[in-house]
Chain A
Amino acid sequence: MKRILVLGLLCANFAYGQDLFDELDKNVKPSKSYTSATFKSTRIINGHSNETMAKNHLDFRIAHRFGKLNDGPYNFFGLDQATMRLGLEYGVTDRFMVGLGRSTSQKTFDSFAKYKILRQAKGPISSPISLTALGAWDAISLSTSPQFVFNNNLERWTYTGQLLIARKFNDKLSLQLSPSYVHRNKVENTTDPNDIFLIGIGGRTKITKRTTLNAEYFYRLPVSLEPGLLPNTSNYNSLSIGFDIETGGHVFQLHFTNSLGMVERQFLTQTAGAWTKGDIHYGFNISRTFSFDKK
């Protein structure tokens, strides 16, 4: 009898302690919350991440890739040569962004559009992954030369399509899978197929609150639309490792990669360097965000 009474008192006490927060939860439904910052930037290293710029935000990107580390001390381990890409990229809505860029490598102009089809979310109607689609176009503006003849402007064009499937597992780890397709209207080498299919895998892990370690690898699938032609074996798969460091409005990405180019055609299909031979380029991306939001 006494025991029951004590139990009863405990119950009453418990009900009192529980209280108002329960009452709150009963009245206010939890809202859907989207996972943010799967990656710190719209690029993992060379390749796109699932992130897009927020609405009315402009991203000014300056990226450099230097020569090869195995160029030796005479070329200061590659730092004597640099290729560059300048980019202006803008968030039209919170899910849709567009970008323009110009690279010194092959005097290439590029543009892209990127749309978040699915966003990872918690709460009602949750989603375990993010899915972003990328469509990119680039044009080589090099003058036609005996080494690389362009009969018309169309031959200068390349199209890229990518699906970026990403998941932020926790605040430490994000991974992404990127099935990709590149169509080159003209290739330098006639034994090269015009179409290349790839599977990309990338990820990041947080080292400190403001620093992450990133890695990215694109595997060219041994398939082709043209019988008898396979991806050129004198090129390599692109592998990059680097750090993201963020400071206020900037994200600095410092990395080592075997790809010299920063446009999809160049790093996905024409990576000439091999890590095993020391053909490693040091490079960086600087991203500066400007908000034009009048909220």
Chain B
Amino acid sequence: MKKIIIFLLGISSGAFSQNYYVCKAGQTSFFSETPMENISALDNKVAAVIDTDKNEIAVKITMTDFKFKNHLMEEHFNENYMESDKFPLGTFKGKIQETVDYSKNGSYDITAVGSLNMHGVTKERTLKGKMEILNGQIKLNCDFEIPLKDHKIDIPTLVIAKIAESIAVKNTFVFTKK
């Protein structure tokens, strides 16, 4: 009995001593070209974490942190497309497939397999990125496309400016050891 308790404590303390690299102000932007005007937005408060022991990554985006040049677009983005009241977050959690030596400087092309949740819909995705480890910092660049249909984001037929069916998303994160 005692042994089991000790065993359990062992597990939980093991969980505490993991190696985390944290990014508190990552940048995520997207861009879409339309005949009327281009749509672009930037969020520079994206939170992300890498567990270097398990080789896992998690990213969390607050939708209302996306800033647009046109405030009305921002309002429509939150009210009509993302429904940010109902679905305030976009998340990704995945496992990095490649073996990365986080203790040495180096650069890697990596692939993360995991689930991307947006607008309340979760999709299994394989995302590619470039990782650079430099003096204890991890820099990660990752570009990918989000097909709006996949996440049940509808575009009204009334919208004069056509919105692309797929949106290009760019991410730049810099992680430091916690």
What's the Cα separation between A27 and B22 when bound, in Å?
8
Known contacts: A15-B12, A36-B64, A170-B85. The answer to whether A24 contacts B49 by CB under 8 A is yes
What's the Cα separation between A91 and B72 when bound, in Å?
12
Contact A291 B69 (CB under 8 A): yes
What's the Cα separation between A125 and B171 when bound, in Å?
30
Expressed in whole angstroms, the minimum distance between the Cβ of B118 and any Cβ of chain A is 15
Known contacts: A248-B159, A248-B161, A293-B69. The answer to whether A33 contacts B1 by CB under 8 A is no
- Asked whether any CB of chain A lies closer than 8 Å to the CB of B8, the reply is yes
| Chain A residues with CB below 8 A from B158, complex form | 210, 247
Q: How many residues of A contact B (CB 8 A)?
A: 37
Main SS class of interface, B: mixed
Interface Cβ pair total, 8 Å cutoff: 110
Contact of A11 among B11, B91, B159 (CB under 8 A): B11
- Asked whether any CB of chain A lies closer than 8 Å to the CB of B7, the reply is yes
Contact of B24 among A28, A36, A171, A249 (CB under 8 A): A28
Contact A15 B11 (CB under 8 A): yes
Contact B69 A36 (CB under 8 A): no
Which of B55-63, B131-139, B142-150 touches A? B55-63
- B contact residues vs A (CB 8 Å cutoff): 1, 4, 7-8, 11-12, 15, 20, 22, 24, 36, 45, 47-49, 51, 56-58, 60, 62, 64-65, 67, 69-72, 74-76, 78-80, 83, 85-86, 91, 93, 156, 158-161, 178
- A contact residues vs B (CB 8 Å cutoff): 1, 4-5, 8, 11-12, 15, 19-21, 23-24, 27-28, 30-31, 33-34, 36-37, 53-55, 57, 91, 170-171, 209-210, 246-249, 289, 291, 293, 295
